[in-house]
Chains A and B, each alone.
Chain A
Amino acid sequence: MKTKSYMARIMAAPHILWAILFIAAPMLFVLYYSFTDASGAFSTENLRLLLDAKYLTIFLRSMAFALVATVICLLVAYPLAYAISRATPRAQKVYMMLIMLPMWMNFLIRTYSIMAILEDNGFLNTILNSLGIPSVHIINTSAAVIFGMIYNYLPYMVLPIYTVLSRLDVRLLEASADLGCTPAQTFTRVVMPLSRSGVVSGVTMVFVPSVSTFYISQKLGGAKYDLIGDSIERQFQSAYNYNLGAAMSLVLMVIILISMAIMNRYSDGEGGLVA
C-alpha cells in the first residue's frame, strides 16, 4: 500500500506545482488589486461599490442568463448524448467529432454567422417567410444571447455526459428490464443516477463560463444589457480600473465557488453505484 500512495503523490505533484505557480500566484495579483485603490493603499472601497444597485443588477442578470442557458443546455444535451451513446461505436466517434468541429471555427466568425441567421431580414426569417410563417424578432434580445451561450457551450455539456453514458453497462439495463422496470423507470432509476457525475461536470463546464462570458451579449444582444463579464472586461480594457475589475471577478468567483459547493454536496455522496 505504501508504494501505491507514493506513486499517487508523484503523479499529482506536477499538477499541484503548476496550479500553485500559475493559478494561485496570479490570483495573488487579483487579491492585491481587489483590496487596494489606484494609489496602492489598502481599501475595501471596491467591494463596497459592488453593493450599488447597478452592480447588483448586473450580477443577478448574469446569473439568470447563465442559469437559463445551463438548464436548456442540459435538456438539449442529455437526450443527444444518450442517443449518441446508443449508436454503433464507429458512429459514436463520428458524432462526437462532429459535435466539436464547429467550435474549431473562429468564435468571432461563428458569431457573425449566427447574427446573419437571426437578424430581422436574416436567413431564418427569409426561410420562415417563404413557408408563409411571419418573421420572428430574435436578434438583440435576450433570446439571442441565450442562444449564443447554448450554441457555444453545448459541446461542453454533451461531452462529459456522453463519456459517462458510453461506458454504461448494458447488462444493468437488461437486468432492470428483467426485474420488471418499464423503460422509463429504467431511465430514471438506473441511467440517470449513473450519469450523475457526467451531468455535474457538464453543468460546471457550461454554467461557469456562461456567467463570466462577454462578447456574446455584446454581439448578439446589441450590447444593450451588459453582463458581468462585459463590465469586468471594460474595467480592464478601457477604464483601467484594475481594482474594481479585480474586485468584481473576486466576488464572481466566490459566488461560483459557493454554487459549486452546493451542487457537489448533492452529487458526491450519491455515487454508491458508480464508485
Chain B
Amino acid sequence: MKKFGFLIAVCMMLAALCLSAFAADRVINVYNWGEYISDGSEDSLDVNRAFEEYYKETFGETVRVVYTTYASNEDMYAKLKSGATGYDVIIPSDYMIARLIDEDMLEPLNFDNIPNYEYITEDYRGLYYDIENRYSIPYCYGMVGVLYNSTVVAEEDVKDRSWDLMWNAKYAGKILQFNNSRDGFGTALYRAGADVNSTDPAVWEKALADLKAQKPLLQGYVMDEIFNKMESGEAAVSAYYAGDFLTMYDNNEDLGFYYPVNADGQIVTNLFVDAFCIPKGAKNKDLAECYINFMLSEEPAIANAEFVCYACPNALVLESEDYREDMGEYAMEVLYPEDFSFSENYNAMSYHNLNPETLKLVNDLWEDLKISGDESGAGGANYLSTALVAALVIVAALAAWLIISKIQKSKREKMY
C-alpha cells in the first residue's frame, strides 16, 4: 500500500507542475508539420520564443505560443473536420488548401495586419488554389526528384534523367516507392506523361497497371524510412522531396539526385507549396495574423528556410547573402534549379484537389495495389504459408488435447 501512496504523491506533483505552466495574457495555437519550423535546435533561432519576445516588446502583452504538430495533410484535415479544435494558424499544402476553401473551412486573411506580405513577390501570388489571394500566404515550396546511390546505380542509367530508373529491373529489390496514393500515382503518371489531376478513369487505371508492374521490383513502400534506407545503402533508388535529399546527402555523399525530365528535356514532377492559413472559427485571428507577419520578417524567415531546407518564396530570404552562404552552393542549385521558372510551371506541375468521384477511384485503385499479390514476387521465400501450416498443426494439437482431457475428466467423474 505504501507504494500506491508514493505513486499518488508523484502524480499529484506532476499535476501541480502541469497547472503551474506560466500564465500568459494571450495564447495562440499553431498547428504545423513536425520538424517544420526553426525550433532552436542546432543553434538555430527558436522562432516561437522570438515571437513571444517580439510581441511583448511591441504590444506590452505576454503571449504564449502553443505549438503542436501533425504528420500529414490528411491527419490535419481529419482533426480540423471534427470541428472541435481551436487552432489559430495551420500550414497545409496546396491541394489541401483548395479543399479547405471549397468546404469553407478557412478564414479570409486581413492583409492590413500582414504588411510583410510585400516580400512574397508576384511570382508566388495568385496560385491556382487561392487565385484571389484571400486565404493563404506561401511558407515554402519544393519539388519531388529521383534519388540514387551512385555506387550502385550505373552512370548510363541516370544520364537521361528519367522516371524510368524507378522501373529499372536491374535494381530490383533496391527501389523504394512512396507510401501514399497521391505521390505514388504521381510517379507513374509523370512517367507516362499523363495529367496528374485527370478525371478520366482510364488514365488512373493505366497508372495502376504501371504501379503493379513495378511492385515486384520494389523493396517497399516507404515514407520517412527512406532517410535511413538511402543513407545506409539498404536501398539504391527512390523518389522524395528535394530538400530532404539534401539532409540525406549530408550523411552520405554517394547519393545523387535529379529532377526527372521528359523526352523534350522539360522537368516533369510534382511542385508543391505549403502555406499559412487561418482555420474558420479561430479565436485569435488578429494574433494569428501578427504571427504570420512576424514569420515573414527577415530573421525568422531565414531561420525557417534554413531549418526546413525547402525552397523559400520570401524575397528577403532569397536576397540574403547569409542564407546563400549557410545553405551552400550545391543546396542552392538543387533547391532553385537554373532556367526553371516557378510561376510558369506551378499550375501545371502541382496536385489539384480531385473531385469526390476521382478521389474515391484513386483510393480504391491504391487499395488494389496494396492488397494485391503475395511476397513470392518480392524475391523472398514464402515464410507465411510455412508458418501458417505449422501454427495450424499446433492449434489442432492443443484443441485435441483439450478435448481429450475433457473426455477423460468426464470419465473420471462418472467413475465416482
Contact = CB atoms under 8 A, between A and B. Distances in A.
B219 A241 contact: no
Interface of chain B: mostly helix, strand, loop or mixed: helix
B320 interface: no
A272 B408 CA distance: 13
A238 B363 contact: yes
B92 to A, nearest CB: 14
B248 to A, nearest CB: 15
Nearest to A63: B388
A225 B222 CA distance: 13
B383 A143 contact: yes
Given A224-B221, A226-B370, A241 B378 contact: no
Nearest to B408: A189
Interface residues of B, number: 50
Contact of A224 (B74, B215, B360): B215
Contact of A231 (B367, B375, B378): B367
A72 B222 CA distance: 28
B380 interface: yes
A70 B379 CA distance: 26
Contact of B375 (A67, A119, A141, A193): A141
A141 B371 contact: no
A67 B395 contact: yes
Residue with the greatest number of chain A CB neighbours at <10 A, chosen from B218, B371, B373, B409: B371
A239 B358 CA distance: 11
Interface stretch (B46-54, B132-140, B226-234): B226-234
Contact of B220 (A70, A71, A223, A230): A223
Q: What interface size band does chain A fall in?
A: 35 or more
Given A64-B388, A224-B373, A137 B233 contact: no
B44 interface: no
A137 B173 CA distance: 11
B180 A219 contact: no
B375 A54 contact: no
Residue with the greatest number of chain B CB neighbours at <10 A, chosen from A72, A115, A225: A225
Interface in B152-209: 179-181
A75 interface: yes
Given A54-B368, A64-B384, A225 B391 contact: no
B364 to A, nearest CB: 8
Contacts of B220: 140, 221-224
A230 B388 contact: no
B108 to A, nearest CB: 25
Contact of B221 (A75, A115, A222, A238): A222
Contacts of A137: 379-380
Contact of A68 (B222, B229, B374, B388): B388
Contacts of A225: 370-371, 373-375
Contacts of A141: 375, 378, 380-381, 383
Interface string A198-229: 00000000000000000000110111111000
Interface of A: 54-55, 57-58, 64-65, 67-68, 70-72, 75, 112, 115-116, 119-122, 137, 139-143, 146, 193, 218-219, 221-226, 230-231, 234, 236-241, 266, 269-270, 272
